[in-house]
Structure 1
């Protein structure tokens, strides 16, 4: 049992990424797709995995950061684990288009053709 545990620990340690962000950095936030729920325009395979770069306000714990979210995402908790964040490398040619969504109390919205 002891050898199996040490073997599993060695596998996990090689794959672990130690990420650290500073206050003022910009990060992408991971969006978890849910079956049957449409968030951010697409569902299933075409749903975005990460959404727009947000600024880090402060470090809550060793692995948790508080992120500045826009008012349209006010119902989402603004503290994220480091595994839910990805570093944003700024690029002047990188243009992001984000349209505000009208979310229902269940964090869903109705998609209408334009």
Structure 2
């Protein structure tokens, strides 16, 4: 046991404050100046605080669907490739046996 460890006092940290309420968050947003950095970042990224347009939601939905479909297809192809690899390995082993047999017959 370390002698120094007896002399160390345990530091008690204060408890965390409660998270802000929805009303407090809204009040904070409403009090923010128009040139607040958060709003300028949203403008640069093409986002704003309003609800996204239906066409944007539909576009993102279609992108997600395409991703899921492509992912499913990749999983299917992966399974096919694993089977083909196993078939090729088995064919290679059979070929090695056949070559060895032919070599044994010619000697």
Could you say which structure has the greater relative contact order, defined with CA pairs below 8 angstroms and 6 or more residues apart?
1
Shorter-chain-normalised TM-score: which range?
under 0.3
Radius of gyration: which is bigger? 2
Higher helix share: 2
Tell me the TM-score normalized by structure 1: 0.20
